[in-house]
Structure 1
Amino acid sequence: MLPLAVIAAVALLGAWLLGDYLTFEALRDNREMLIAYRDAHYLTAVLVFMSIYVVIAGFSLPGATIATLTGGFLFGTFPGVLFNVGAATFGATVVFLAARWGLGEKLSAKMDASEGRVKAIKAGIDENQWSMLFIIRLVPLVPFFVANLIPALVGVALWRYVISTFVGIIPGALVYTSVGAGLGEVFARGETPDLGIIFEPHVLLPILGLAALAMLPVVLKTIRGKEAI
């Protein structure tokens, strides 16, 4: 339990201490300083930004959305989306490893040794790991922290987790990074960005379409299984 307890403690402490700093208002008020630093020290700015993002994602601190917007604001949609996705994947892997070292290995072994419905659920997840991993990343209703924990608790291989996380979060990250890239105009008008844009039909439907495509192998296996019976 120690690795997860550390993450939980840091998350609570971070929410208390950093709540006023990882906000849209803080980004707006410090935008000129951030841009000046980026222009003077581009590579350092990238490394510092990604390091902060890794800490935010790895310890489940508040402000992941703001971090993604900042990546777009400072570095543009591209390569900003690569910096965002890379840092988020690295941070998510920290949570995954902490969960696996803590509870994941023992829980996965217990599920394999169990009988009845629990074992059937574990077997179903194992048979469709790629599909399930992509679905929990693509569907925006699944919290990021939950999507980091579930694979660890059912014994997903690290390399599968990393690949599915990196690829699966690209659509959502691309949306918010592009919003961040347009923040200069938003600031100039004295407005706030529309963070609900990911639920707009023209954005959400393609993402759900990708989720349905990821689910297709599971559906086909189920149909073939019924036909065999």
Structure 2
Amino acid sequence: MTTEATEPTADASRTSGSASKLIKVVVLAALVSVIGVAYFNYGDDLSLAGLAEKEAALQSWQQDNPVLAYGAAWLVYVVVTGLSLPGAVPLTLVFGWFFGFWKALLIVSFGSTAGATVAFLLSRYLLQETVQSKFSERLESVNKAFRREGAYYLFSLRLIPAVPFFVINVVMGLTPISVTTFWWVSQCGMLPGTCVFVYAGTQVPDLQTLADQGWQSILSWPLVAAFVLLGLFPIVVKKLMAKFGRTPEALQNKEEPGRDT
């Protein structure tokens, strides 16, 4: 009787698991398809050269529809950063030029955090098996560090760009950290870098010049000083963390002594 009762339960569990995997695959495939079609159709329009061609039209539209412009800019930034699409840095520069420092800072800061949270949630609910298989060794180290340090661990990773933005998002999605904690810690940790890049955007004379001449068109002593400070800031933070034995090494791609390469 026990065996007969257990077998249907096991079959139901396997069926439920298979259905759950199928739903995840379908949702992920639909998401990738939508992203692919959108990027294929509108990717060039969001490039620096594409935006430069529409410079006058964009400024006129923003003056006529300020609230809509802010919302659209935020949504575009969320999509680009949340799906790890190329173009986040050029968009930051464009927003700094287009909206001015403080307005652009709000859009980019909250947009990048929202995008990071989107990637975090996709990892937690849709990409869990893929991420675990790819980052299994690092994930174990991350979980140990997270249990030991808590939210401070994520904050230190945000301050010290030891690993790519998207890797932090997807790997942290498999830790016990709550969405709320992930949001506010990321918001604070990414703010220094956001300030510098938005400020760089405010130095852009016009988009066509930036597209044609690149960084040379916006270089100035205040901007150089800001980037120097941004470069020194992680070094200072890392030294302070190392002094207290709290440097986040779990996600860094370092070889262990005696380990085969």
Q: Same fold (TM over 0.5)?
A: yes
| AA matched with 2:174 | L
Matched, 1:191 2:192: no
The farther-off stretch of 197-206 and 145-154 is: 197-206
| AA matched with 2:111 | A
Q: Distance in 2 between matches of 1:38 and 1:97?
A: 32
Match of 1:226 in 2: none
Q: Distance in 2 between matches of 1:118 and 1:186?
A: 42
Identity of aligned residues (%): 26
| AA matched with 2:182 | Y
| AA matched with 2:232 | L
Q: Distance in 1 between matches of 2:78 and 2:241?
A: 27
Match of 1:59 in 2: 83
| AA matched with 1:93 | T
Give 5+ residue unaligned stretches, structure 1: 109-116, 221-229
Query: How high is the TM-score relative to the length of structure 1?
Result: 0.75
* Closer, same or farther: CA 7–163 of 1 in aligned 2, 3 Å: farther
Query: How high is the TM-score relative to the length of structure 2?
Result: 0.67
Give 5+ residue unaligned stretches, structure 2: 1-23, 133-137, 248-261
Match of 2:174 in 1: 153
**CA deviations over 1:145-190 (Å, ceiling 9, x no partner):** 1121111122222121101111111111111111111112574585
Q: Distance in 2 between matches of 1:22 and 1:215?
A: 41
Match of 1:202 among 220, 229, 244: 229
> What does residue range 1-229 of structure 1 map to in structure 2 within 5 Å?
2=25, 16-104=40-128, 122-184=143-205, 187=208, 191-193=213-215, 200-213=227-240, 218-219=245-246
* Closer, same or farther: CA 8–147 of 1 in aligned 2, 3 Å: farther
Match of 1:223 in 2: none
* Closer, same or farther: CA 214–14 of 1 in aligned 2, 3 Å: farther
| AA matched with 1:167 | C
Q: Conserved in 2, the CA contact under 8 Å of 1:10 and 1:59?
A: no
Q: Distance in 1 between matches of 2:228 and 2:170?
A: 29
Q: Conserved in 1, the CA contact under 8 Å of 2:82 and 2:115?
A: yes
Q: Conserved in 2, the CA contact under 8 Å of 1:138 and 1:210?
A: yes
* Closer, same or farther: CA 214–20 of 1 in aligned 2, 3 Å: farther
Q: Distance in 2 between matches of 1:186 and 1:66?
A: 10
Q: Conserved in 2, the CA contact under 8 Å of 1:72 and 1:177?
A: yes
**CA deviations over 1:84-128 (Å, ceiling 9, x no partner):** 0111111211111121123559x99xxxxxxxx986762332211
From the CA coordinates, give the structure whose radius of gyration is larger: 2
